[in-house]
Amino acid sequence: MQLRAEGMKVQEIAKILKVSRITISIWTKKFKEKGLEELKSKKQQGNRRNIRNIRIQEEKNF
């Protein structure tokens, strides 16, 4: 969510994290509506990446 807040485009974030643009859009919407806890609390479907792994990946790319 930090990358979105910094103005990075959904497509760029999706490429970095190796997820679909739709996934990034869904995560962004959930974050705006209910905050970070909403993203952390639910078991994700499909690719079993969790928010911690995504955060680590974001940090590696900087």
Encode pLDDT of 33-45 as tens digits.
988 887 776 565 6
**Which segment, 7-21, 27-41, 43-57, is predicted with the most confidence on average?**
7-21
Element (H, E) at 8: none
pLDDT score, position 62: 60
Give the residue, 39 or 24, on which the prediction is more confident.
Answer: 24
With a cut of 70, say whether residue 52 has pLDDT above it.
Answer: no
Is residue 54 within 8 A of residue 17, CB to CB? The reply is yes
Any idea where the domains of the chain sit in the sequence?
A: 1-39
